[in-house]
């Protein structure tokens, strides 16, 4: 297909969205950044309108970001992309594939069923069970089912009076009825983002906390990117972790521990900045090469 019309589903003005749109425009001469919050679906006509354009007439959509933060509403936006597919638009990655990673619980269960090592995890609505797990773990990271970049997460320690521990867990549960908690893992000063395009390994970067100031390494919490070269066993682990999801582009979050490597999560979208700044990889360009090869 010569000069396909490829739109970017993302957040206008955000770095990764604009970098991908720039790459597409340079290669094809076409540019369209589509904010799903501004898309309307008219079922009578089947028209998917964004700023006067029917995106159902495009050749393809590359999904960089559906919303700034994950929420159940994010799943509703995936339905709009499903309608685009029904109109014949190629969507990368497909909405059904992304659906399994928007909700943290869904993605966790898929990884567990694939035999991928993860931190010890408890999922429950029972407050007593959650408190007992914190006492077993010593420290637990509580995670919302819908979040990105560690937003909304918190650490609760067993090293406090039981009534205070219970109060902390109850406070978290007020906004998160289904509790998801993991044993806090001591990281070796970094965790890894392992990048895949079309299921093929592209490279790895490390996230390092700012002077050890945070319990997590996310850039949102002040971390920074560095280069890292993994061994074959780490690449194999990340390859197996991303395989069940079948995404066109993703990063796998991996950490090395004294007991062996573990996977924190597979990203529904994956970022470009870490690959570029940490590993010198033009992930946006590599992703576009993959999409063009499929059209």
- Looking at the structure, tell me whether residues 139 and 224 fall in a common domain: no
Confidence label for 25 from pLDDT (cuts 50, 70 and 90): very high
CB 157 within 8 A of CB 163: no
Residue 98 lies in a domain: no
Distance of alpha carbon 101 from alpha carbon 267, whole angstroms: 7
In 3-state terms, what secondary structure has residue 82?
helix
Kindly state whether residues 196 and 63 are assigned to the same domain: no
- Encode pLDDT of 261-277 as tens digits: 999 999 988 889 999 99
Rounded to a whole number of angstroms, the CA Rg of the chain reads: 20
Average of per-residue pLDDT across 158-181:
96
CA dist., res. 221 & res. 194, Å (int) = 20
Going 226 to 231 to 237 to 242, the CA torsion angle's sign is positive
* Same structural domain, 194 and 290: yes
Spatial CA neighbour of 288 closest among 227, 193, 202: 202
- Residue 282: half-sphere exposure toward Cβ, Cα within 13 Å: 9
Report the side by side order of strands in the sheet with 224-227: 224-227, 200-208, 191-197, 249-255, 262-266
| CATH number (domain holding residue 54) | 3.40.50.20
Q: Are residues 83 and 108 in the same domain?
A: no
Same domain, yes or no: 157 and 230: no
Same domain? For 222 and 175 the reply is no
The answer to whether residues 82 and 209 belong to one domain is no
Angstrom distance (rounded) from CA 39 to CA 58 = 14
Same domain, 109 and 241: yes
Each residue's pLDDT tens digit, 65-97: 988 777 777 888 899 999 999 999 999 999 999
Q: For residues 110 and 230, state if they share a domain.
A: yes
pLDDT mean over 185-190: 84
Residues 6+ apart with CB under 8 A from 171: none
34 vs 270, more confident: 34
Q: Are residues 25 and 129 in the same domain?
A: no
**Structural domain harbouring 60:** 6-92
Whether residues 194 and 55 share a domain: the answer is: no
Which structure tokens are listed for 276? 């570029």
Of 50-54, 98-102, 124-128, give the lowest mean pLDDT range.
Answer: 98-102
């Amino acid at each position: 297909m010569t000069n396909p019309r490829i739109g970017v589903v993302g957040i206008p003005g955000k770095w990764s969205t604009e970098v991908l749109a720039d790459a597409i425009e340079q290669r094809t001469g076409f540019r369209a950044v589509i904010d799903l919050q501004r898309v309307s679906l008219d079922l009578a006509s089947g028209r998917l309108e964004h700023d006067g354009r029917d995106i159902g007439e495009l050749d393809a959509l590359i999904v960089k970001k559906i919303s700034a933060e994950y929420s159940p509403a994010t799943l509703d936006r995936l339905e709009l992309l499903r309608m685009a597919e029904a109109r014949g638009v190629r969507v990368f990655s497909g909405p059904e594939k992304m659906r399994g990673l928007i909700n943290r619980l869904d993605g966790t269960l898929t990884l567990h069923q694939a035999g991928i090592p993860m931190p010890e995890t408890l999922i429950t609505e029972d407050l007593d069970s959650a408190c007992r797990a914190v006492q077993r773990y010593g420290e637990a990271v509580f995670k919302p089912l819908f979040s990105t970049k560690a937003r909304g997460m918190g650490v609760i320690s067993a090293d406090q009076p039981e009534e205070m521990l219970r109060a902390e867990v109850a406070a978290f549960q007020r906004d998160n009825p289904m509790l998801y908690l993991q044993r806090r893992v001591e990281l070796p000063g970094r965790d890894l983002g392992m990048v895949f395009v079309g299921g093929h390994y592209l490279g790895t970067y490390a996230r390092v906390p700012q002077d050890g100031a945070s319990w997590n390494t996310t850039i949102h919490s002040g971390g920074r990117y560095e280069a890292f070269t993994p061994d074959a066993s780490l690449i194999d682990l990340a390859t197996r972790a991303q395989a069940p999801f079948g995404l066109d582009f993703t990063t796998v979050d991996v950490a090395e521990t004294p007991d062996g490597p573990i996977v924190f999560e597979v990203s529904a979208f994956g970022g470009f900045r870490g690959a570029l700044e940490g590993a010198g990889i033009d992930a946006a360009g590599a992703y576009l090469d993959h999409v063009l090869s499929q059209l």
